[in-house]
Amino acid sequence: MGSLVNDISLRLDEEQQRLLARWATKTAMVIEGVKQEKNNFYSAEQRNTFRTTLIPPEETAVWLGRCAQSNLLHGEARKLHVSNQRPTNPLEDGCATTFVTGRLVMQVLSVKRKPDAPGGGLSLKIRAGPWESKLVQIWPVEKPRVNWPPPQSFSDLGDGLRDLRRRFAVGVSFK
């Protein structure tokens, strides 16, 4: 992780992706956990299960990006309240946590399905942005090797990091 924070390019194998996803998930749970208890997203059961298995909760994804500035330290957890409560919408709740450490940007998205919702893929509505060129998905692991940094970087000078923090709209809807 030190190489990423210090802006050293490298290829991440599957094990490195898993380790970074664990760290990101743990950090997301800590950042999210300091909020008022009524606003907490991760349950005590999810936290305990993660502590013992070191596997991010189901319906969790983790991405890495690069920050153009090197002196940033930021963390924010945003609750994704479901505004589309139709019976066909399987989502109950969500949380997107974004943090920056040096040159490393990490984003963790976790969602919860309604108890009676069927399994299968979810298709979240994501705000438009250059996500494919600025982020690398590391969880769930989809590729045996990924390159870091991505082709483009986020900047704190424009709207880049702000837009990333708001990538998953509050009031999540499904396609």
Is 172 among the domain residues? no
Mean pLDDT of the chain: 86
Q: Is residue 100 within 8 Å of residue 161, measured between CB atoms? A: yes
Q: What is the CA radius of gyration of the chain?
A: 16
**Structural domain boundaries, residue 55:** 2-165
Q: What pLDDT band is residue 69 in, cutting at 50, 70 and 90?
A: confident
Looking at the DSSP assignment, which residues form a beta bridge with residue 66?
A: 104
Is 174 among the domain residues? no
Look at the chain and report how many structural domains it folds into.
1
pLDDT in tens, 19-65: 999 999 999 999 887 876 666 889 889 999 999 999 999 899 999 99
- Is the preceding peptide bond at 140 cis, omega within 30 degrees of 0? yes
Give me the pLDDT at residue 31, please: 86
Is pLDDT above 50 for 174? no
